[in-house]
């Protein structure tokens, strides 16, 4: 395919994409194909000879769409939202065309594959591609939208700053590894004889018992103990709960070094009490990382910003603009107060660390992969074309829709609300047994008009209703509720009295 054909086909694809998104609610939100359906629809091997674009494009509806869960359908209420906006799609087209790998990789290559070469190509190292600089500035823009403390911003002299990670899982892992490396250096400074593995065997990290599984997995990867702190009746970790475990573990000879607080837990969007937890972590020099993967986007609204109070005690903070801030996946924003903590964890040439510009410029030491796409373009397009006010309006609309659904549930005596509705998630259930609610959920998902997933709260089987799609309107909420309450009526009538 040459540039001329790309011009034609690209414009057809733009129309296909627009058609898909404009008419998405006409599609069944949730596929009903059998496992392995796709393999039988396409050849077992790649073709020897090139096929025509027509042949390929025909297969999108024949092969792909029947197996797609339409995350951007206004009938999708499962999990949490994943962002999708037109400005972001345009920026991604540009990102693909430029197809640069990012300064970070360049510098990492020069320094770590050939450390001694570093100086020799110094002139080139001093040319900072747009890719890295735009990312640093966009993270500053976003940090200011969130009113992050100044020490999380890079600015021109800052020691902190932000970076784009692929997902919150990577951000948590990076923070944990940085904390691990920091505590090991700290202990070995006083006890040079103590081995790294001996120290690691005593390390213990903490998170909420409501925390996402990726936190536990980060501990698994880093090879450190990870303990879950019990939450209160609001599913929130409180200071005294952490304090208690810290004292027990210290007494047992363990070394607490990392606490991952969650703002907006996956099951119920609960908030750990970081104003209580932060001072405790700071007092005993435990790294506090805050994972606000979903909820973080809401903090750009003054009325929700108080949920982030206590951020000043954190060492690192992360949330996903690719969830709720209209920037397409992948774009997970992570900030740290001290870049040197992160960079130090990845063993960079001391010589290199002398160059502040490079420290802020080189992001490869901030992440697992070395390569990186020009992801900051998506943020730049979205922030400018929506403006802060447009983004705030978007968040408020989703929260309003969740409140609307909550009021419908509360108005029906057969149902109960299972957790405070703070943002765009409503946890609810039929008053009655878990089995009853499991059956209701099954019927909802099998009907395929809408898609929900469950969670477990205090031993109860609960349905999660998350406002997800950009195009969800009040009528969709009303429709979804009618459908749910109709299925509930059917179910309840079948029960023996």
Interface with a copy of itself in residues 177-196 (CB under 8 A): 177, 195-196
Among 27, 128, 282, 449, binds a copy of itself (CB under 8 A): 128
CA gap 382, 3 in Å, rounded: 28
Question: In sequence order, which residues have a C-beta less than 8 Å from that of residue 361 and are 6 or more positions away?
Answer: 103, 104, 107, 128, 132, 133, 136
Q: Provide DSSP, 329-396.
A: SS-EEEEES-HHHHHHTT---HHHHT-HHHHHH--GGGSS-S----THHHHHHHHHHHHHHHHHHHHH
Instruction: In angstroms, give the least distance from the CB of 283 to a copy of itself.
Output: 27
Instruction: In angstroms, give the least distance from the CB of 295 to a copy of itself.
Output: 16
Q: For the window 429-448, what string marks contact with a copy of itself as x by the rule CB under 8 A? A: ---------x--xx--xx--
Residue nearer to a copy of itself on the CB measure, 17 or 411:
17
CA gap 190, 173 in Å, rounded: 26
Among 353, 368, 436, 491, binds a copy of itself (CB under 8 A): 368
As a whole number of Å, the end-to-end CA separation of the chain is 68
- The window from 36-44, 250-258, 274-282, 480-488 that contacts a copy of itself (CB under 8 A) reads 36-44
Number of amino acids touching a copy of itself (CB under 8 A): 159
| Per CB under 8 A, 13 contacts a copy of itself | yes
372: nearest Cα among 101, 92, 95: 101
Instruction: In angstroms, give the least distance from the CB of 315 to a copy of itself.
Output: 19
174: nearest Cα among 371, 322, 316, 319: 316
| Per CB under 8 A, 419 contacts a copy of itself | no
**Could you tell me if 279 and 313 are in contact, meaning their C-beta atoms sit under 8 angstroms apart?**
yes
Contacting a copy of itself within 58-117 (CB under 8 A): 60, 63-72, 78-79, 82-90, 92-94, 96-101, 105-106, 108-110, 112-114, 116-117
Compute φ and ψ for 262, nearest 5 degrees. -115, 130
Contacting a copy of itself within 445-484 (CB under 8 A): 445-446, 453-456, 461
- Tabulate helix, strand, coil % of the chain (nearest 5): 55, 15, 35
204: nearest Cα among 253, 256, 241, 246: 256
Contacting a copy of itself within 291-310 (CB under 8 A): none
Among 159, 212, 337, 339, binds a copy of itself (CB under 8 A): 212
Helices 130-145, 376-410: crossing angle, 10 deg rounding: 30
Q: Distance of alpha carbon 319 from its chain centroid, rounded?
A: 6
Among 14, 150, 458, 482, binds a copy of itself (CB under 8 A): 14
Residue nearer to a copy of itself on the CB measure, 89 or 284:
89
Instruction: In angstroms, give the least distance from the CB of 279 to a copy of itself.
Output: 29
CA gap 478, 212 in Å, rounded: 30
Among 221, 283, 351, 411, binds a copy of itself (CB under 8 A): 221
CB 384: neighbour CB atoms within 10 A? 11
Among 61, 120, 150, 458, binds a copy of itself (CB under 8 A): 120
Instruction: In angstroms, give the least distance from the CB of 72 to a copy of itself.
Output: 6
| Per CB under 8 A, 51 contacts a copy of itself | yes
Contacting a copy of itself within 330-349 (CB under 8 A): 330, 346-347
**Could you tell me if 318 and 293 are in contact, meaning their C-beta atoms sit under 8 angstroms apart?**
yes
CB 84: neighbour CB atoms within 10 A? 20
- The window from 237-245, 364-372, 422-430, 489-497 that contacts a copy of itself (CB under 8 A) reads 364-372
Among 123, 253, 302, 496, binds a copy of itself (CB under 8 A): 123
| Per CB under 8 A, 1 contacts a copy of itself | yes
| Per CB under 8 A, 7 contacts a copy of itself | yes
């Amino acid at each position: 395919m040459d540039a001329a054909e790309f011009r034609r086909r690209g414009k057809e694809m733009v129309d296909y994409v627009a058609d898909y998104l404009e008419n998405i609610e006409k599609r069944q939100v949730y596929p009903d194909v059998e496992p392995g359906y796709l393999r039988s629809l396409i050849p077992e091997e790649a073709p020897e000879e090139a096929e025509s674009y027509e042949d390929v494009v025909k297969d999108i509806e024949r092969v792909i769409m029947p197996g797609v869960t339409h995350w951007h359908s206004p009938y999708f209420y499962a999990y949490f939202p994943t962002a999708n906006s037109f400005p972001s799609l345009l920026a991604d087209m540009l990102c693909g065309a430029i197809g640069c790998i990012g300064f970070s990789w360049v510098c990492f290559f020069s320094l770590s594959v050939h450390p001694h070469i570093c100086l020799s190509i110094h002139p080139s190292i001093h040319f900072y591609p747009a890719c890295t600089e735009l990312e640093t500035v966009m993270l500053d823009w976003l940090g200011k939208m969130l009113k992050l403390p100044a020490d999380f911003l890079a600015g021109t002299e800052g020691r902190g700053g932000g970076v784009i990670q692929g997902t919150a899982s990577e951000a948590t892992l990076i923070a944990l590894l940085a904390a691990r490396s920091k505590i090991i250096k700290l202990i070995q400074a006083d006890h040079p004889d103590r081995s790294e593995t001996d120290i690691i065997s005593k390390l213990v990290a903490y998170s909420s018992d409501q925390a996402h599984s990726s936190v536990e997995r980060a501990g698994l990867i880093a090879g450190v103990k990870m303990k879950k702190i019990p939450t209160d009746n609001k599913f929130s970790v409180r200071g005294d709960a952490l304090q208690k475990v810290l004292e027990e573990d210290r007494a047992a000879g363990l070394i607490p070094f990392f606490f991952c607080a969650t703002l907006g837990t996956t099951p119920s969007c609960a908030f750990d009490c970081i104003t209580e937890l932060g001072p405790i972590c700071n007092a005993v020099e435990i790294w506090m990382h805050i994972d606000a993967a979903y909820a973080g986007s809401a903090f750009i609204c003054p009325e929700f910003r108080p949920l982030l109070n206590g951020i000043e005690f954190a060492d690192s903070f992360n949330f996903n603009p690719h969830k709720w801030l209209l920037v397409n996946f992948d774009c997970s924003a992570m900030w740290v107060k001290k870049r040197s903590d992160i960079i130090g964890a990845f063993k960079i040439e001391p010589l290199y660390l002398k160059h502040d510009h490079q420290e802020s410029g080189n992001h490869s030491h901030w992440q697992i992969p070395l390569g990186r796409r020009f992801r900051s373009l998506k943020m730049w397009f979205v922030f400018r074309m929506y403006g802060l006010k447009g983004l705030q309006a978007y968040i408020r609309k989703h929260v309003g829709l969740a409140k609307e659904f909550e009021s419908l549930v509360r108005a029906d005596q057969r149902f109960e609300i299972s957790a405070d509705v703070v943002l765009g998630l409503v946890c609810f259930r039929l008053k009655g047994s878990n089995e009853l609610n499991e059956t209701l959920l099954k019927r909802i998902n099998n009907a395929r008009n809408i898609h929900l997933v469950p969670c477990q709260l205090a031993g109860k089987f609960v349905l999660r209703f998350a406002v997800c799609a950009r195009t969800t309107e009040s009528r969709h909420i009303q429709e979804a509720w009618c459908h749910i309450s109709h299925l509930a009526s059917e179910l309840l009538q079948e029960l023996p009295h």
